[in-house]
Amino acid sequence: MFYFEKRQQTPGYLKALIPIISLLLGLFIGALAILITGINPLLVYKGLFLNAFGSWYAFSETLVAAVPLILITSGLIVVFRMNVWNIGAYGQYIMGAIFSSYFALFASNGLSKPVMLTVMVIASMVGGAIWALIPTLLKIFWEVNEVITTLLLNYIALYILKFLMYGPWKNPSSYGFPLSKTFPDTAILPIIFKGTRLTIAIIFALLAVLVVWFLIKKSKFGYEVRVIGDNPLAARYAGISVNRNIIIGMAISGALAGLAGMTEVSGIVHYLQVKIGADYGYTSIIVAWIAYLDPLITVLASVLFGGLASGGYSIQITMRVSYGIVGLIESITLFSLVGAQIFLNYRIRWKNGSS
């Protein structure tokens, strides 16, 4: 028999161990699934690892996937710390992509590249923020739970995107494929490392991390976020406007998710289509948890999950392993992470007969 004993404080080694074990568990279950399909999981994982970190090009692809993860997660951290559960980065990402694409597709005349890109960045952030503020206002004024509304808005965003892609924004010469015209050159983010797909978006991502780190650790806003996260009643008592901070936090969170959407269409895809990697919005939730809502650890965790994503794509092609495996590994990881929360707060003890 074993039982739980409540902890007063969580030891540091455990905090480091739990994410690692969770990920290993995810990989283990993933291995079982691969085994069922009759392929040697060790070979698959070796392939996955090499395709994620084995060469400079492979690593650059990992970073390509890490960039949107870093952007989105940085924003999620801010609201998660206030116990506001924004599950809507998926939709905010799509809206960011749509808003910025509008300018790339229909308003690019005569604008120089820097101006064009600035406009697109701002548009994407506004788009993402609007999409995040809808559920926020519903939460504040009608006490509608944000988990449900942000999730629903994901579907609405996806349908808006589909509508545009099959309808008004569809490229007439795309042979029926749901995609827009290719962006003009002025609307495409410049590459920073030749021979890779890494754009200056990586600078946006690092800037976002720094800004969020500063906000959380050094700013007055960060202090207020901390108090709200721990005891909203005490926050109100101290004169902190809980609603105002939630609005600001959600706006930041939505804006960064929207920006991630822009970097994807403008930097990687170069046109708008239905599949633009919005799933990053869900993966980021896992990244945020595994990083303990810490902006600096987020970078590390994003690279890890970026590697999983890009390595996963490659093995899908080279080894015929379904990309679904990556989703499985991710979800098992999240599952065990959430389950492991109990170990952070409780200590397991084994019982020996008498007591």
Partner 1 sequence: MDEVILETRNITKVFPETIANKDISFKLRKGEIHALLGENGAGKTTLMNILYGIYLPTSGDILIKGKKVIIKNPLDAIRLGIGMIHQHFMLVDTLTVLENIILGLKEYGFVIDKKAVKKRLKEIENLYSLKVEPDVKVWQTAVGEQQKIEIIKVLFRGADILILDEPTAVLTPQETQSLFKILRKMKEDGKSIIFITHKLEEVMQIADTITVLRKGRLIKTLPKSETTKSQLAELMVGKTQTLDFSRKRPKSNEEILKIENLTVHSDKSLKSLKGVSLSVFKGEILGIAGISGNGQKELVQTVVGLKKAVQGKVVFNGIDITNKPPRYIAQAGINYIPADRLAMGVAPNLSTIDNAIMRRYYRFPLSKRGIMNYRKALAYTMMMAKAYKIKLDNPFAPIKLLSGGNMQKLILAREILENPKLLIASYPTRGLDIASTQFFRQKLIDIANKGKTIILVSEDLDEVLSLSDRIAVMYEGRIVGILNAKEADKNRLGLMMAGVKT
Q: Are 324 and 34 spatial neighbours (Cβ–Cβ below 8 Å)? A: no
Question: 136 φ, ψ to 5°?
Answer: -65, -45
* Residue selected from 10, 45, 166, 222 as contacting partner 1 according to rule CB under 8 A: 222
The verdict on 83 binding partner 1 (CB under 8 A) reads no
Q: Considering beta carbons, is residue 6 or 194 the nearer one to partner 1?
A: 6
Site mask for partner 1 (CB under 8 A), range 24-43, x = bound: --------------------
The verdict on 208 binding partner 1 (CB under 8 A) reads no
The verdict on 141 binding partner 1 (CB under 8 A) reads no
Task: Find the binding residues for partner 1 in span 224-283 (CB under 8 A).
Answer: 226-227, 230-231, 233-241
**Which residue, 196, 351, 350, is CA-closest to 267?**
196
- SS3 at position 4: strand
Run of H or E residues at 285: helix 280-290
Place of tokens 């559960």: 85
The verdict on 57 binding partner 1 (CB under 8 A) reads no
User: How far is residue 165's CA from residue 188's CA, in Å, rounded to a whole number?
Assistant: 19
Count interface residues toward partner 1 (CB under 8 A).
27
Fill in the amino acid letter for 342.
I
Run of H or E residues at 345: helix 324-345
The verdict on 342 binding partner 1 (CB under 8 A) reads no
Tell me the closest approach of the beta carbon of residue 245 to partner 1, in angstroms: 12
Tell me the closest approach of the beta carbon of residue 227 to partner 1, in angstroms: 5
The verdict on 82 binding partner 1 (CB under 8 A) reads no
Place of tokens 């997660």: 73
Residues making up the chain, counted from first to last:
355
Site mask for partner 1 (CB under 8 A), range 4-23, x = bound: xxx-xx--------------
**Contact region for partner 1 (CB under 8 A) — 129-137, 170-178, 215-223, 251-259?**
215-223
Long-range contacts of 166-173 (CB under 8 A, 24+ apart): 169/101, 169/105, 169/272, 171/271
The verdict on 353 binding partner 1 (CB under 8 A) reads no
- The residues that touch partner 1, with contacts defined as CB under 8 A, are 3-6, 8-9, 218-223, 226-227, 230-231, 233-241, 349, 355
